[in-house]
């Protein structure tokens, strides 16, 4: 294969195509799917070639014949709710995360035809590592090993690239020879990843790879850098803001007042219910909390701006959320704020994908470096 030829990939649970954007122009999408009409609409709006390869519908209804040729990569950001701490923790047997097996049956069918993807990436919430005491992660690893893949996991927080706290686990599995220079790193091998590895049965540990991925340069953007101008957004009333600040703990309010005494301060606010009592929790570290979809009782993040003796609050906009996912301003969002946040809240941060692709996937698939023993 020419080192300059585009790498071909299949994107399952594609949403608005954020993994595709992150992979970049050195990759060619041969197939993508999502069952959600709103996300499918966003995908079509942003990729002129969607009519050639995008399938809207349940992954269980996709035929192996719909997947062309042999792909270098199959990317699967399967639904995360059943792994999330915010969900019911049903694990891989859950109705949503069980969609993983709809994807995996396709990989198995391709393998039976001699055209298994060379590499697979499964992206999900960090709860995947501990769901059902680690049994779900073990089941995933057993599925990968059963089709001849070696695998390992990295925990990457988007906060290393963007002002949003969004830790995710990336399981990278391959049938390719593993270059020695892609093994043995410490960055992104969190305590949770190491514990999940160490819980695996001996026969699965034999398939494990401690992937090496360099840490990125220090992030130099803050939440305030990605926000719309103050005069371009709708602010909530003084009464609404007062009600919000009244939900803060005394400690959070003290921190806000102290920071505001030094000048203008921008804080991210997330409303939660603790023991039946609504609480407003603020971040003053220049980052937003993890974006979520506005469903299942989740509330939209808010922005609080304080200084000069005044405090104002407003909702985070869809465009600001898109920037927190690394999307360019020409990315076409749904018309409603709720729809926009629905698409981006389930997505993967594009700079994280780009870093993973450039530092690991592309060297692996293009055969850079010497092969590990």
- Do 57 and 160 lie in one domain? The reply is yes
pTM reported for the whole predicted model: 0.92
pLDDT (mean) for 269-276: 84
Distances in Å between the Cα of 176 and the Cα atoms of 17, 94, 144, 173 are: 26, 31, 13, 9
Same-domain pairing of 156 and 235: no
pLDDT score, position 93: 58
Flag whether 306 is in a domain: yes
Does residue 207 sit in the same domain as residue 260? no
Structural domain span for residue 235: 229-316
Chain segment 65-77, per-residue pLDDT in tens: 999 999 999 999 9
CATH number at residue 72: 3.40.50.150
34 and 107 part of one domain? yes
Is 371 a member of any domain?
Answer: no
pLDDT tens string 303-356: 999 988 889 999 999 999 999 999 999 999 999 999 999 999 989 999 999 999
Tally the domains of the chain: 2
Is residue 370 situated within a structural domain? Answer: no
| In a shared domain, residues 89 and 210 | yes
Residues 310 and 353 grouped into a single domain: no
Confidence of residue 278 (pLDDT cuts 50, 70, 90): confident
Q: What are phi and psi of 72, to 5 degrees?
A: -75, -30
Same domain, 239 and 209: no
Domain shared by 294 and 242, yes or no: yes
63 within a domain of the structure (yes/no): yes
pLDDT tens string 244-257: 999 999 998 888 88
Coil vs helix vs strand at 177 = coil
Please check whether residues 211 and 241 belong to one and the same domain.
no
Q: Does residue 324 fall inside a structural domain?
A: no
Could you tell me if residue 353 is left (phi over 0), alpha (psi between -120 and 50 degrees) or otherwise beta?
alpha
Do residue 153 and residue 271 come from a single domain? no
| Strand pairing report for 54-56 and 73-76 | unpaired
> For residue 46, what are its two tokens?
């942003």
Same domain flag for 75 and 148? yes
């Amino acid at each position: 294969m020419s080192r300059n030829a585009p790498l071909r990939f299949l994107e399952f649970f594609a949403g608005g195509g954020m993994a595709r954007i992150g992979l970049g122009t050195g990759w060619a999408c041969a197939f993508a799917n999502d069952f959600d009409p709103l996300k499918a609409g966003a995908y079509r709006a942003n990729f002129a070639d969607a009519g050639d390869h995008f399938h809207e519908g349940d992954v269980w209804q996709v035929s192996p014949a719909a997947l062309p040729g042999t792909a270098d990569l199959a990317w699967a950001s399967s639904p995360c709710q059943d792994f999330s701490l915010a969900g019911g923790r049903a694990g891989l047997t859950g109705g949503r995360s069980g969609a993983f097996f709809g994807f995996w049956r396709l990989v198995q069918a391709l393998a039976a035809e001699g055209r298994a993807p060379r590499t697979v990436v499964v992206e999900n919430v960090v709860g995947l590592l501990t769901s059902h005491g680690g049994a779900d992660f073990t089941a995933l690893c057993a599925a990968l090993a059963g089709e001849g893949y070696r695998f390992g996991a990295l925990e990457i927080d988007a906060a290393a690239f963007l002002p949003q706290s969004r830790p995710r686990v990336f399981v990278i599995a391959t049938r390719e020879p593993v270059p020695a220079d892609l093994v043995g790193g410490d960055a992104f091998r969190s305590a949770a990843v190491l514990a999940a590895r160490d819980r695996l049965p001996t026969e699965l540990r034999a398939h494990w790879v401690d992937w090496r991925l360099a840490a990125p340069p220090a992030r130099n953007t803050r939440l305030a850098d990605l926000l719309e101008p103050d005069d371009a957004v709708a602010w909530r009333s003084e009464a609404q803001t007062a009600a919000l600040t009244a939900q803060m703990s005394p400690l959070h309010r003290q921190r806000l007042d102290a920071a505001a005494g030094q000048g203008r301060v921008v804080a991210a606010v997330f409303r939660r219910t603790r023991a039946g009592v609504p609480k407003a929790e603020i971040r003053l570290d220049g980052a937003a909390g993890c974006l979520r979809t506005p469903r299942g009782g989740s509330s939209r993040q808010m922005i609080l701006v304080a200084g000069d003796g005044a405090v104002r609050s407003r909702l985070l906009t869809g465009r600001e959320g898109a920037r927190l996912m690394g999307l360019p301003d020409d990315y076409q969002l749904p018309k409603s704020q709720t729809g926009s946040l629905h698409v981006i809240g389930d997505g993967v941060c594009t700079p994280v994908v780009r870093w993973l692709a450039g530092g690991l996937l592309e060297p692996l698939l293009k055969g850079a470096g010497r092969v590990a023993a």
